[in-house]
Amino acid sequence: MISMRNKKEKKQPIESESEEEDYGYDYDSQEEQEDPSEEDLDASEQEDLEESELEDEEEDKAAQMAKIKRDLAHVSFEQLTEIKGKMEPNHEKKKISKAQILQDLKGAASKIKKPKSKLSKEEMKRENKHRPMEISSKRAVGRFREVVPIQAEKRRDPRFDKLSGQLNQDLFEKSYGFLNDYKKSEMDMLKQRLKKEKDPEEQEKLKALLTKMVSKEKQEQEKKRKQALLRERKKQEAELVKQGKTPYFLKRSEKRKLDLMDRYEKLGAKSVDRILEKRRKKNQAKDRKHLPFKRRSAD
């Protein structure tokens, strides 16, 4: 009996092993398999993060270097040599950090990028007390340099200057009356040349010049006539003021009427009638333009 029980007990573990093999459940092996997979995932994530950080750092460095190159493109040769001397190893001197070099480069670039303006005292300072004052060779030198300031000449127009006094028209006309005689003699010479000239183009030129001189002389005579009329009117008004009457100043319309009356008086009755007839015909022609040619019919 005992031997049979032992045989049965021995057979039981074999069955359990076969069951495990049939169903494929091996819990110990499963746990062992799960643990290393998690570790592998953590390691791969860390590697990816490190790689991304390295790429970001490289991109930042590349961008920074590109910016430095752009700034260095405008830096002068003297400043570049000075910065290079700072970067070279020198055991006697103290080591300079990269941050300080970058700061020097930025300062040099900012000085060049300043807008063009007059040199200030700060820009004209010496870099060292044993050095002379320097101006940038890139700045254009002015064409005109005022070493000693010169006082500008004040031009004087005698027409509007008080030193010349007030204009006396009568005295001016008397003083320069001989010019009218010269003008008359020139007109006579032009008339004689026009009679002798045979070239048609030259004749037209002489005619245009002669008509211009004649019209200018007529304008001057008309101006003198108006001035004389107003002068006479002022004298009459001054006499009335002496008698105790209030002064009266003519309007433009009244001056125009006075001028027309004086002109018609000098022309005479026949010439006035002729002028009035011409004006009447002119006004009739204007009125006729506004009248309709034919009445509109009811249709």
The pLDDT of residue 20 is: 42
**Alpha helices by DSSP H, the chain:** 2-23, 27-72, 77-87, 98-112, 169-175, 178-196, 200-242, 252-267, 269-290
Instruction: Flag whether pLDDT at 254 surpasses 80.
Output: yes
Looking at every residue in the chain, the average pLDDT score rounds to 75
Mean pLDDT of 262-280: 83
Spatial contact of 190 and 210, defined as CB atoms under 8 Å apart: yes
| pLDDT digits 0-9 by tens, 195-253 | 998 898 999 999 999 999 999 999 999 988 888 888 898 999 999 999 988 988 889 99
Amino acid making up residue 6: N
Max intra-chain CA distance, the chain: 183
Q: What is the pLDDT of residue 295?
A: 65
- Of 268, 176, 264, the closest CA to residue 220 belongs to 176
pLDDT in tens, 66-118: 887 777 776 777 777 777 776 655 544 455 666 777 777 777 766 665 555 55
**What pTM value is reported for the model?**
0.40
Are the C-beta atoms of residues 147 and 163 closer than 8 Å to each other?
Answer: no
**pLDDT number for residue 124:** 64
* Residue 126: partners with Cβ closer than 8 Å, 6 or more residues away: 132, 133, 134
Summarize pLDDT for 153-194 with one digit per residue, the tens.
888 888 888 888 888 888 888 899 899 899 999 999 999 999
Q: What is the pLDDT of residues 10-22, one digit of tens each?
A: 444 444 444 444 4
| Contact (Cβ atoms closer than 8 angstroms) between residue 104 and residue 83 | yes
27 — pLDDT class (breaks 50, 70, 90): very low
Mean of pLDDT values over 253-263 = 87
In whole angstroms, what is the distance from residue 196 CA to residue 177 CA?
Answer: 30
Cα–Cα distance measured from residue 133 to residue 200, given in angstroms and rounded to the nearest whole number: 76
In angstroms, the Cα distances linking 258 to 50, 215, 222, 232 are: 108, 23, 14, 12
| Token pair 């006479």: residue | 232
| Rounded Cα–Cα distance for residues 160 and 144 (Å) | 33
131 pLDDT higher than 90? no
Task: Please give the Cα distance from 53 to 76 (Å, whole number).
Answer: 36
Averaged over 138-153, what is the pLDDT?
Answer: 76
The answer to whether residues 86 and 96 touch, using CB atoms and an 8 Å cutoff, is yes
